[in-house]
Structure 1
Amino acid sequence: MTTTVEAPRSRRVGSAPRRRTLARPHPEGTVAALVVLALLGAACWAFSQLRVNAATIVDGLGNAVDFASRTLPLDFPPIGELLALSGQTLAIVVCATLIATLLSVPVAVLAARTTALGGTSRFAARVLIVVARAVPDVVLAIVFFRMFGFGGLTGVLAMGLHSTGMIGKLYADAIEQVDEGPRTAIRAAGGSRLQQLVSGVLPQVVPSFVATSLHRLDINLRVSVVLGFVGVGGLGQAIADSLRTLDYQRGMALALVVFALCVLVEIVSGSIRQALLGVRAQRPGGRAARRGAVPARVPLASGGSGSRRNDGSRPRISPSWTVGRVRRLGYWLLTALIVAASIWGADISFAQFERAVSGFGPTLALFWPPETGGIFGELLSELLVTIQIALAATLIGAVLALPIGALAAANVAPSPAVAKFFRGVVLAVRGVPELVLAIVFVVITGLGAVAGALALGVGSVGLLGKLVADSLEEVDRGREQALRATGANRLQVFFAATVPQAAPAFVSHVLYQLDTNLRSATLLGLVGAGGIGYYLLNASRVLEFGVVTTVLLLTFGTVLLVELLALWLRGVLRPSGS
C-alpha cells in the first residue's frame, strides 16, 4: 500500500506542488524479519548452551590422533564382498528413489494448484506430503523391520515413502510454475483434463522431474548408511557391524567407499541429466523466459500425401538421428537397465508382502498406544537438545557456507580456477554422510551434542554451499555490470548488487537447511551424538514400541512446526514476480 505525501511548495509563484509516494512497510514482512532475527538469536543461544568452541576441538586433537592410529591402515574387504555390498546398497537406493518418483507424480498433480481436482484433494495431498517429510526414515525403517524383517525391502519402503514427501513437494512446485499457454490451448480445443495434463503440462516439467529425482538419489545414498544401524543391508549395515565391534579400520574403509560412491553418483547423475534432457533446464522465470524465448516448432505434414518442400522432398515430422539423439537414447536404455538390475539386486522378496499383510494389524498394535516408559521428562529434555543441535549446526553451516558458496560462484570468484576449486570442495563435503562425520566428531569431542552440532554444521556446507553458489550465479548480471561501469571494485559490486538480489534466496536456503538438520539431528543420536535419537534406538532394541511411538510423535510435532514456519517465511520473503 502507498500513502501520498505532499512535498513543500515551490518558491516560484504559480508552480504546482510536487507529489511523491512513500512505500508503507508491509506488516507481514516486518513480522517475518522479526521471526528471522528471533531464529538467529535462538541459534546463537543454542551454540552457547552446547559449549561449541575451538577449545573443545583443540582438547580433542589427542583423541583424533589416537583414532587415526587405530584407523590406519584401512582394512578393505575382499573385492568380491565389496562389490556385493556396494551393489546391494545402490540397488536399494535406486529402487527407493524409483518408488518415490512413481508415487510423487500423482500426489504432485493433486497437490498443485493448477491441476488439483478441487480444494479438498489439494489439501489432502499437501497434508500427505508434509507428513511423509516429517516422519524420519529411521522410524519408518523400525516399523517396516517389524513387518518385513531383515532385507532390502525394509530400506526400499522406508526411504521411498519418506522421499515421496520431498519429491512430491518439488514436483508440485514445478507444476504450478509451468507456462499455462499450451494447457489453455488444449482445453480450448476440447481436450480432456487428462489430455491437458499429458500434453500440456508434463512435457514442460520433465526436466525438473528428472533433476529432482537424481538429486534425491544422491541424498538416499547417504541416508542408506544411517538405515544400516537398524538392519537395512548393504554398506550401511557393514559399517554399523564394524563400529559395534570397534573395528575402525574396516568401518572407515567402508565409509571411504560410501564417500567415493556419493561423489561418483553426483558426477554420473549430472552427466545423465544433461544427456537425457539435451540442454540444461532453465528455472521458471529464468533468463530465457524473461527474453520471451519460445521453443522451435517442428513442421508437420498436412494432407494424405503430405506437403513437399521447394526441392520436392517431404518435411520431416520427427527429429533426425544425430549423434546427440543416439546418445540420449543410449542413456535412456542404460537407465532402464540400471532400474531392472536394481530391482533384482535389492533382494526384494514379494513373499514378504504376504507375511506382512497377515501380520499388519498385530504389528501396528505393538506401537499403540504411546507410552513414556517412565522417562517422559528425559524425552522432552533430549528433544530440546535435538533442537539446539539443529539450530547450532545451521548457524555453523551458514557461517562456513556463505563464503565458500560465494567463492564457488562463477560471477563472484576471482577466477574460474578458484570457482572450480571451491565447487570441488562443496562436492567433496556433500559426499561424506553426516553419520560418518558424527562418528569422527564423537571420537574427537566425546559423546554428546557437541559432536552432533559439529557433524551437521560441517555437513551443511555441502548442500548450503551449493545452493548459495547457484543463487549468486542466477542474479541479474545487468546490475553488476552497471556498477562496474561506474568504477566500483569487485567487493563493492558484490555487496551492492549481488548480495541484495540473492538475499531472499539465502534466507530460504538457510530455513531449508534448518528443516533438514532437525531431521538429521534425530538420527545422529544413533551413534551417541546427542539428542532424542539415542532413546529411539534403545526403545526399539528393547522392544518398547510404545516409547518409539512417543518419540515419533514428539519429533513429528517439532518437525511439522518448523516446516510450517519455514513455509510461511519462504512465502513472505519470496520476491514479487517469482
Structure 2
Amino acid sequence: MSTAAPVAPVTPGPSTAADERLLRPIRRPSAGTAGATLVMAILVGLGVWSVIDLGIDLPTILGSLGSAVAFVGRMFPLDFPPLPDLAGMIAETLAIVFLATLLAVALSVPVSLAAARATTRGRITRGAARTLIVLARAVPDLVLAIVLLRVFGLGPVAGILAMGLHSVGMIGKLYADAIEELDDSPRQAVETVGGTRSQQIWSAIPMALLPQVIATGLHRFDINLRTSVLLGYVGVGGIGLEIADALRSLDYQRGMALALVVLALCIVVELVSGGIRAAILPRPGGRSARTGWIDRLLDRPTARPATEQIHAPWSVDRFRRVLSVAVLVVVTAGSLWKVDLDAATLLGGIAEIPSTVQLFLPPGFGGSAGTVFADLLVTVQIALAATLLGGILALPIGILAARNVVAGRAVHTGFRLLIVIIRGIPELILAIIFVVISGLGGVAGTLALALGAVGLLSKLIADSLEETDPRPQEALRALGASAPQVFLAATLRQAAPAVVAHTMYLLDTNIRSATLLGVVGAGGIGFLLLNAARINQFEVVTAIVLLMVGVVLVVEALSMWLRHAVR
C-alpha cells in the first residue's frame, strides 16, 4: 500500500496592492459611474454641437486649401535675421523664461508646504494656500501681463512676473500633491526625538522632494517657453515680440522664419528636459532600480564615524553637486544681466501696484454685456470642439505610440517623434496660420487647439497605457486571447480612468487657451479682452477675468468629480 506524501501547508506570502486588485471581485457599475458616463455623454454631445455651430466641416476645410497654398507661397523664401541678432533674441527669450520659472519654483515651495496636510496642521492655512494655487492657475498669464505692463512698462519684467505668478498655480499644486504622497516615516522619526515642526519639515522633505522639484520646474520651463511667444503680442520682449511685429506688418517671411526658430527651440528644450526628468524621477521597482550619476548627485554623502572622517570627501559626486549649484548661479546672474533687471525698477513698479489695481475696480461691462457673454459662449464652444476633435485624433496616435501595445519599435518610436514635433509648435503660431488660411473666427481657434491637443493628449494616453499592470494582459494571453482582445479587456480598461482625467484636463487647458488665442483673431473672448485693455476699459478686463475664473472653476470641479467617479 502506497502512502501519499504529506502536503506542506501553503503559507500565503505578503500581498501587494496590485495582487489585491487582481483578487478583488468585479463590481457592478455604481450610481457614480453611471452618472459619470452620462456627464461624459453630455460633454461629447456639446462638443458635437459646438463643431456644427462653429461651422467646422469638411467643405469648409477643403475650401481653405487654396488660401493655405497662397500662404505657403508668401512664406518663402524664409527671411532669418542676422545670426548675432537672432542669438540675442534667443538669449533674451531664454532669460525671460528661465527667470519666470525660477521665480515660480521659489514661490511654489512655501505655498506647497502650506497647502499640504503633511506639513500644515491648520485647516485655514491649508485652505488659503489651496485657494491661492487655484486662483493663480485660473487667471490667464496674458491678463497678468496686461496688468503688470501697466505697472512696469513695456519689457521683460512684466513677462517674468506674469509667467512666474501664473506658474505657481501648476507648480504649487504638483508640489503639494507630491509632499502628501511622500513616506511620512522620516518626519515622524524626527518628531519622535523631539524635533520642532520646522526641523521635521526641513530635515525630512527637501531631499526627498528634490527630484520632483527639478522635474516639475523643467516641465514648466517648456510651457513658459511657448507662452513667451504669446506675451510678445502685448509688449514683452524676446522672439515673441519680433514675431508679433513681423506678422502685424504681414511680413510672413520673417514671422514664419522666427516661428520655425521657436519650433526648433521648443523641440530641443522638450528633448533635453524630458531626458533629465526621466533620469531623476524614480522608476518602477523602487530606488534600487535607479542608477547613474544623477541619483548620486541628489544624495547626501553617507554618514561616517567621526573618528574615520570629519568632513565629506571631495568625490566626483560632490564636485558635481557644487558644479550644478555654480551653474545655476551663473545662469541666473547672466539672465538678470540680459533682461537688464535692476532693483530700482522693480521697487518702483511695486510702489505703483495699489494705484494700478484701483483702475481695474469695480468690474463692469461698459455697456457691452451682451457681446461679452456671446464671446464667452464662443470661447467655451471652441474649447469643447477642440477637445472633441483633438481627442478623436489623439486616441489612435497615443495607442500607436505605446510600447506595450505596438510591438514594432519603428512604429511606436515614429509616433513618439511625431508627438514631440506637434508639442513643439506653440498654439499661437498654429492660430496665426489658421487665421490666415481660414479667416478670423472660431474655426481658426478650434483647428489650432485641436492640433495642439494631439501633442498633449497623445503623450498622456501613451504614458497611461504603458503604466498599466501587465499581469492581467499576460493572464488573458495565456487563456488564448488575441491581441485586440487583450488590449480592449485589460490594457485600455485599466487606462480608461486616466484617459478620462487627461481629457478633462485638456478641456480645462483649452478653455484657458481659447481665451488667449482670441488675441490674434482666432475667435472667442480674447480679442475683446485685449481690446478693452488697449482702450483703457480696465473694468471690462476685470469683469471678463472674473467670468473666465468662474468657468474654469466649474470645469475643474466637474473634472475632480469625474476623476473620483471613474476610479
Identify whether the pair has TM-score above 0.5, normalized to the shorter chain: yes
| Residues 268-323 of structure 1: CA deviation (Å, up to 9, x unaligned) | 22344456x3xx424xxx553899xxx99986434x534xxxxxxx8x9968835x
User: What corresponds to 1:355 in structure 2?
Assistant: 348
1:288 aligned to 271, 286, 293, which one?
286
Give, as a single letter, the amino acid of the residue that structure 1 aligns with 2:79: D
1:50 aligned to 42, 46, 54, which one?
54
Quote the Cα distance in structure 1 between the aligned partners of 2:504 and 2:314.
46
User: What corresponds to 2:524 in structure 1?
Assistant: 531
2:470 aligned to 477, 481, 491, which one?
477
1:321 aligned to 305, 315, 319, which one?
315
Give, as a single letter, the amino acid of the residue that structure 2 aligns with 1:372: F
1:148 Cα deviation from its structure 2 partner: 0.4
User: What corresponds to 2:307 in structure 1?
Assistant: 305
User: What corresponds to 1:11 in structure 2?
Assistant: none
User: What corresponds to 2:210 in structure 1?
Assistant: 206
Quote the Cα distance in structure 1 between the aligned partners of 2:221 and 2:301.
34
- Alignment of 1:411 with 2:414, yes or no, is no
C-alpha contact (below 8 Å) 2:215/2:276 kept by paired residues: no
Quote the Cα distance in structure 2 between the aligned partners of 1:63 and 1:328.
54
1:492 Cα deviation from its structure 2 partner: 1.9
1:500 Cα deviation from its structure 2 partner: 0.6
Give, as a single letter, the amino acid of the residue that structure 1 aligns with 2:341: I
1:130-141 to 2 correspondence within 5 Å? 130-141=134-145
SS in structure 1 at match of 2:205: helix
User: What corresponds to 2:261 in structure 1?
Assistant: 257
Give, as a single letter, the amino acid of the residue that structure 2 aligns with 1:232: V
- Alignment of 1:544 with 2:537, yes or no, is yes
Q: Percent identity?
A: 53
2:45 aligned to 41, 47, 53, which one?
41
1:460-471 to 2 correspondence within 5 Å? 460-471=453-464
C-alpha contact (below 8 Å) 1:405/1:469 kept by paired residues: yes
1:330 Cα deviation from its structure 2 partner: 4.4
Give, as a single letter, the amino acid of the residue that structure 2 aligns with 1:545: F
1:332 Cα deviation from its structure 2 partner: 4.7
SS in structure 2 at match of 1:529: coil
Give, as a single letter, the amino acid of the residue that structure 2 aligns with 1:288: G
User: What corresponds to 2:373 in structure 1?
Assistant: 380
1:463–1:332 CA distance, 2 compared to 1 (3 A)? farther
User: What corresponds to 1:420 in structure 2?
Assistant: 413
User: What corresponds to 2:12 in structure 1?
Assistant: none
1:389-400 to 2 correspondence within 5 Å? 389-400=382-393
- Alignment of 1:559 with 2:562, yes or no, is no
C-alpha contact (below 8 Å) 1:272/1:331 kept by paired residues: no
Which stretch shifts more, 331-340 or 70-79?
Answer: 331-340
Quote the Cα distance in structure 2 between the aligned partners of 1:31 and 1:474.
27
1:132-281 to 2 correspondence within 5 Å? 132-273=136-277, 277=280, 280-281=281-282
Which stretch shifts more, 178-187 or 423-432?
Answer: 178-187
1:92 Cα deviation from its structure 2 partner: 0.4
Give, as a single letter, the amino acid of the residue that structure 2 aligns with 1:568: W
Give, as a single letter, the amino acid of the residue that structure 2 aligns with 1:263: I
User: What corresponds to 1:433 in structure 2?
Assistant: 426
1:175 Cα deviation from its structure 2 partner: 0.7
Quote the Cα distance in structure 1 between the aligned partners of 2:565 and 2:314.
47
Unmatched runs of 5 consecutive residues or more in structure 1: 1-19, 307-313
C-alpha contact (below 8 Å) 2:144/2:162 kept by paired residues: yes
Quote the Cα distance in structure 2 between the aligned partners of 1:264 and 1:55.
37
Quote the Cα distance in structure 1 between the aligned partners of 2:94 and 2:242.
14
Q: TM-score, normalised by structure 2?
A: 0.90
Structure 1 vs Structure 2 CA RMSD: 2.4
Which stretch shifts more, 86-95 or 45-54?
Answer: 45-54
Aligned residues: 536
2:395 aligned to 371, 395, 402, which one?
402
1:99 aligned to 103, 118, 121, which one?
103
C-alpha contact (below 8 Å) 1:32/1:569 kept by paired residues: yes
Which stretch shifts more, 340-349 or 237-246?
Answer: 340-349
C-alpha contact (below 8 Å) 1:472/1:499 kept by paired residues: yes
| Residues 394-447 of structure 1: CA deviation (Å, up to 9, x unaligned) | 111111111111111111123122111111111101110000000111122111
Which stretch shifts more, 362-371 or 55-64?
Answer: 362-371
